[in-house]
Amino acid sequence: MSEPKCAICGKPQDLKLRPFCSKRCADVDLNRWFSGGYAIPAVEEDDASDFEEREQ
C-alpha cells in the first residue's frame, strides 16, 4: 500500500499534521478557506416563479 500524500503538494504526510506534510501546506490550505478558494458551485433559482407555477 502506498504512503498517503499531502493534500496540497503531494509529498508524504506528516502524522502530526495529517493530511499535510508541513505547517506551510496546512497554512496554504487555511488561506484557501479564508479567501474563498474552496467553494461549491450553485445555481440560484427564482423561488417566486417556482411558487407561482405550483399555485396554478
* 10 is a domain residue: no
Distance CA 41, CA 14 (A): 31
Task: Please check whether residue 21 is in contact with residue 6, taking contact to mean a CB–CB distance below 8 angstroms.
Answer: yes
> How would residue 54 be classed by pLDDT, with cut points 50, 70 and 90?
low
Q: Which domain holds residue 28?
A: 15-55
DSSP secondary-structure letter at 5? B
What's the whole-number average pLDDT of the chain? Answer: 86
- Overall number of domains in the chain: 1
* 8 is a domain residue: no
- 6 or 54, higher pLDDT: 6
Has residue 47 got a pLDDT over 90?
no
Residue 43 has φ and ψ, to the nearest 5°, of: -110, 120
Has residue 9 got a pLDDT over 80?
yes
* 32 is a domain residue: yes
Distance CA 12, CA 31 (A): 21
* 2 is a domain residue: no
